[in-house]
Amino acid sequence: MIALSHGEPPARPSGMPDFPWSLVEMCCDFEPMLRPLPLQLMAKVAVGLTMPVVARMVMRGHPLDNSSSDLLRAIEVSLDTAGWDVTVELRSMSEKELALEVIRMLSLWSLGIPPESLLYTDALYRWCLDAVVHRLQPLPDGEDDEDGLIEPSKLCPFAKLLAAVDPAYADVAMLRFGRASVGTPIRFEEEEGPLSVVWFSDGDRIAVGSATGTAGILSTSSGATIRRLNVHEGNVNEVAISPDGRLLASCSDDRTVGLWDAETGNAVGEPMLGHTSYVYSVAFSPDGTHIASGSYDETIRIWSCETRATVVEPLHGHTRGILSVAYSPDGSLIVSGSWDKTIRVWDAQTGACILGPLGGQADDINSVAFSPDGLRFVSGSDDNTVCIWDAFSGEPVGALMEGHRDSVQCVAYSPDGARIASGSDDTTIRIWDAARGVLIHRPLRGHTAPVLSLAFSPDGRKLASASFDGTVRIWDATDEWTRWDI
């Protein structure tokens, strides 16, 4: 008061913390009308004493990062905007009650500010008000588009706050609102939409076959195109990389199979001719010496990478076009899926059909893939299902995996064999537990058109997808993006 009488602000005592000093400064404003009323001061004190408790709930023993700091600032602003009669009650609440009230006030405050200023998404705040605060609906498994998704690192602090109310809410928030895609989608021009994607062994580069007859080699870390190969005169329906990463194989509507030097982009010999219609699928043998191709002409051909000639007669048996072929890990078998709604297994040395036709799914078989141990293979069908098969008996293993709402266009095993990914015309990707045949977590959303091709990275931690929406996306294939407790 002495300092104020001389027209000077009071001096800050040594060692006084920031919060009480901020209150002193407010009370000592030179303009009496700007000084807080007693009730306003009580509310300020209540917020100041509450925030350390909230900070402990948000951080849960972890260091303060930018996302946590942003959330705490938003919480403090929301508490400051609440009436004094609300904030003075905060100190008497249990941790669970406090977390619930903080979430309520943060949601209400955030819904009143411009959308571009929202810390999270409008969808998240509305879900919190409906499901968490008012308990008007059960924990939802509703479907959300890309616009409602949030980077997991940014969402995690808020999920920790939800966990103080109920850990189940934190789990649902991460699964429903967390974004599983990594980085920015790689976009292609409309006419050159990606049809197929495969990883190189370095875990960064991918090869993408497109609708303009080109194959691109891209870096997933930068999104940059490293090399573009003009490989065909029609759609490049599938690309494959040799086990040593030196060669790229491609197949096309122009009825040919091509072989290319992945480093230089130069053709390795002449195109492989023999199919009489569109070639939809191509696969390297595990030792890199042969290529199998499947065509609309109802045949499979096995080619020598050295001579680029077929090594056995065409494999006949399917009664309609062949959409997918894959080698077993030991190279002894080839599995094929067809428009005739069946699967066949072939001896890769002789070309003899040793299993099939297998007809466990009710529509066209769009994609097949062997498990890394060679004991099973998986198929995706136009009947919207995924099926696991015993590679030696040809019998289905467990029930059909259902959940997709439209045709399953592609399937892939993770390198450890523990997971199966499936992509569908319903625009989603699902990741299944390969042992139990159940969905591991909610579908991955982000594509806006059918998912045409999937490939796990060599370490199994990422998943690449190519879609008719003109993008290739990279996804976190682990469950870490769903975790708030790490």
Neighbours of 443 (CB within 10 A): 18
Q: Which two tokens stand for residue 457?
A: 């990275």
- With residue 54 as reference, give the H or E element that holds it: helix 38-59
* pLDDT tier, 142 (very low <50, low <70, confident <90, very high otherwise): very low
What is the C-alpha to C-alpha distance for residues 250 and 261, in angstroms, rounded to an integer?
Answer: 12
Whether 64 has a pLDDT exceeding 80, the answer reads: yes
Query: Where does 112-179 have alpha helices with state H?
Result: 122-127, 152-165, 167-177
Q: pLDDT at residue 143 above 50?
A: no
SS3 assignment for 62-114: CCCCHHHHHHHHHHHHHHHHCCHHHHCCHHHCCHHHHHHHHHHHHHHHHHCCC
Q: Which pLDDT tens digit goes with each residue over 236-268?
A: 999 999 999 999 999 999 999 999 999 999 999
Name which residue leads in pLDDT, 418 or 45: 418
pLDDT, tens digit (0-9, with 9 covering 90-100), for 364-408: 999 999 999 999 999 999 999 999 999 999 999 999 999 999 999
* pLDDT at 9 (0 to 100): 62
Residue 145: is its pLDDT beyond 60? no
Using an 8 Å Cβ cutoff, are 462 and 444 in contact?
A: no
Strand duo 365-370 + 419-424: pairing: unpaired
Query: In whole angstroms, what separates CA 235 from the centre of its chain?
Result: 26
Q: What is the mean pLDDT of residues 145-173?
A: 89
- Per-position DSSP letters for 40-53, written without gaps between them: HHHHHHHHHHHHHH
d(CA 128, CA 71): 15
Distance in angstroms (rounded) separating the CA atoms of residues 103 and 74? 11
Amino acid at 164: A
CB atoms within 10 A of CB 149: 20
Least confident interval from 12-26, 45-59, 105-119, 423-437? 12-26
Spatial CA neighbour of 102 closest among 113, 91, 112: 91
Q: Which residues contact 420 (CB under 8 A, 6 or more apart)?
A: 378, 386, 388, 401, 411, 412, 413, 414, 431, 432, 434
Taking the C-alpha atoms of residue 300 and residue 292, their distance in angstroms, rounded to an integer, is: 7
Backbone angles phi, psi at 6, to 5 degrees: -95, 10
Average pLDDT for residues 346-371, to the nearest whole number?
96
pLDDT digits (tens, 9 = 90+) for 327-350: 999 999 999 999 999 999 999 999
Least confident interval from 65-69, 109-113, 154-158: 109-113
Amino acid at 225: T
Average per-residue pLDDT in the chain? Answer: 89
Cα–Cα distance for residue pair 249/358, rounded to 1 Å: 28
What single-letter amino acid sits at 476? D
Name the nearest CA neighbour of 40 among 85, 92, 9: 85
pTM score: 0.84
Rounded to a whole number of angstroms, the distance between the first and last alpha carbons of the chain is 51
Q: What's the pLDDT tens digit per position in 180-220?
A: 998 889 998 867 789 999 999 999 999 999 999 999 999 99
Percent residues over pLDDT 90 in the chain? 71
- The mean pLDDT value for 421-431 works out to 97
Average pLDDT over residues 442-460: 95
Q: What pLDDT does residue 141 have?
A: 46
Q: Show the domains of the chain with their CATH numbers.
A: 36-177 (no CATH), 181-481 (2.130.10.10)
| Contact assessment for residue 375 and residue 399, using Cβ atoms and an 8 Å cutoff | no
The pLDDT tens digits for 463-475 are 999 999 999 999 9
Q: Give the model's pLDDT for residue 479.
A: 87
Write out the two tokens for 173. Answer: 């928030």
Measured in residues, the chain has a length of 486
Mean pLDDT, range 155-181, rounded to an integer: 93
Q: What is the pLDDT of residues 219-228, one digit of tens each?
A: 999 889 999 9
428 three-class SS: coil
On the question of pLDDT at 146 being above 70, the answer is: no
How confident is the model at residue 405, as a pLDDT? 97
Residue type for 142, please?
G
Residue 61: the pLDDT is 86
Angle between the N-to-C axes of helices 95-111 and 152-165, in degrees from 0 to 180, rounded to the nearest 10 = 130
Contact (CB, 8 A) for 391 and 376: yes
pLDDT at 144: 46
